[in-house]
Amino acid sequence: MFDGNWRTAVDRSLTPIGHSLRRTGITPDVITIVGIVMATVAAVTIGAGYLRIGLLFLLITGIADALDGAVARAADSGSQRGAYFDSVSDRLADALLFGGVAWHLASTEPGRIMMLPVAVMAAAMFVSYQRAKAESLGYEAKGGIMERAERVIMLALALLFPEILIPVLWIMLALTAVTALQRFVKVWRQASIDRPLPARRPRRRPRQRSRGRNESAWAQRMRERRALREG
């Protein structure tokens, strides 16, 4: 939802910052690594029970995630390698953050409620896989009510008000499941359109030598040999 409505405006507003960072010599990969480090610190802080401090590191993680793309665009250095690294780092950051939340709940809440953030993380990974697989097949699978930006915003809200952490996680799980269904239906419809198969070229049959020609040449050679013998 965020990508479809506000991504272009946010990217445009970050362009001057991207140019400034590029002039300092900072590369997009460095910013991506900073985001991974900040996500790790946020996970450990949240797991230790300092949720609002974890929120601070979560915000830094989100800023780094937004700025690496801005620097890449400013330097005109976007590449498949950079896009791959950025996508992998996003999945790693999600796993770290929700792992930290699960650790916190395991220490403070009874029962198996610690599995709730694990379920949210699994659903989020499934949503991301759907897009990756669809794009590898030539389909478009963006969109949905709960993408990564919405998950980060809702997690930040839950860390700011810890008393609503568990209800927010339930809402995130439900909306992420809806997003997975939305993407599945979107790709299914695209894949259901009949596409004409490429026309097959008829196979060329190997030329067969004329049997008559072979026999006449053999007969001529035999006549020449007889003539030589009789002569």
Residues marked active site are found at 90
For residues 152 and 90, give the distance between their C-alpha atoms in angstroms, rounded to a whole number: 11
Closest of 64, 84, 52 to residue 21, by C-alpha: 64
- How many Cα atoms sit within 13 Å of 24 on the Cβ side? 11
Instruction: Find tokens 């006449």 and name the residue.
Output: 216
Residue 100: count other Cβ atoms within 10 Å of its Cβ. 26
For residues 46 and 99, give the distance between their C-alpha atoms in angstroms, rounded to a whole number: 9
Torsion of CA 177, 178, 179, 184, to 10 degrees: 90
Phi/psi region, residue 209 (left: phi>0; alpha: psi -120 to 50; beta: rest), is beta
Q: Which residues of 39-72 are buried (b: 16+ CB within 10 A; e: fewer)?
A: bbbbbbbbbeebbeebbbbbebbbbbbbbbbbbb
Closest of 7, 14, 12, 9 to residue 143, by C-alpha: 7
Residue 79: count other Cβ atoms within 10 Å of its Cβ. 10
